[in-house]
Amino acid sequence: MLVTIAVMVARPLVVVVAVSGVIGAAAAVHAGDAASSSPPCPAAVVRYRPYPGIAPGFRGLPWVAGTPSAQGLVGLLVYWPEAWRAQKMTHATIYTNNHGPGGVPNMKILWAFLSPQAKTALGAGRVVIKGQRLDAPGKTWQQFVEISYTGQNRVPSYASNINLPSAGCWRLELTAGPLHATTVFNAISASG
């Protein structure tokens, strides 16, 4: 089940440059003067080394870690465009409204709690993901059920399509029973 609540946004924050249908580079452009007092988005670092889980099919996917690190939250960025991979872009970025340029790719992220205590967590059958804008008013929330896959090794895992309603800096708070972690993404609009 997917539920999203959107709250209005004060101003557009991002422009996306696309070349021949291929995502080029994304650059933050603030509406207003260059002396904007808004701090940069403290987005999570995208990692390209093999993720710390054991499922071999996910080794090539870029990923982000959650905090606190003791929870072992990993977000495998299934949607991450090839152009961003080629650039080794390390600033966690996601398109708004669950769609990139041309309507694809969907913003698919596989979340997994890898800590030893997560394997025995009771009540972790679904994850609630609450989004909170850090740079302007805005909230959203979504809910996803636990999935299973080859190589999972009892790690609580959740397939999601993240739907952030507006461009800006978003903190995602994930809660699955007693498991809790956060991460930050810079959301950009595919339409510029």
Q: How far apart are CA 33 and CA 11, in angstroms?
A: 13
Return the higher-pLDDT residue of 2 and 155: 155
- pLDDT for 170: 98
What contacts 52, CB < 8 A, 6 or more positions away? 72, 74, 114
Separation of alpha carbons 179 and 175, rounded Å: 6
Domain that holds residue 152: 14-32+41-188
- Which residues sit opposite 15 in a β-bridge? 27
Domain-located, residue 121 = yes
| pLDDT tens, position by position, 15-34 | 222 222 322 333 333 233 33
In a domain, 168, yes or no: yes
Q: How many domains does the chain have?
A: 1
pLDDT at 95 over 70: yes
Task: Please give the Cα distance from 84 to 25 (Å, whole number).
Answer: 8
Measured in whole angstroms, how far is the alpha carbon of residue 108 from the centre of its chain? 8
Q: Which domain CATH number covers 124?
A: 2.60.40.10
Domain annotation covers residue 95: yes
Is the pLDDT at 160 greater than 50, yes or no? yes
Average pLDDT score over residue span 62-75: 96
Per DSSP (E only), the strands in 8-125 are: 14-19, 22-28, 63-65, 73-77, 93-95, 108-113
Q: What is the pTM of this model?
A: 0.78
Averaged pLDDT of the chain: 81
Residue 56 confidence class, pLDDT cut points 50, 70, 90: confident
**Amino acid type, 72:** G
pLDDT category at 38 given cuts 50, 70, 90 is low
Secondary structure class of 71 (helix, strand, coil): helix
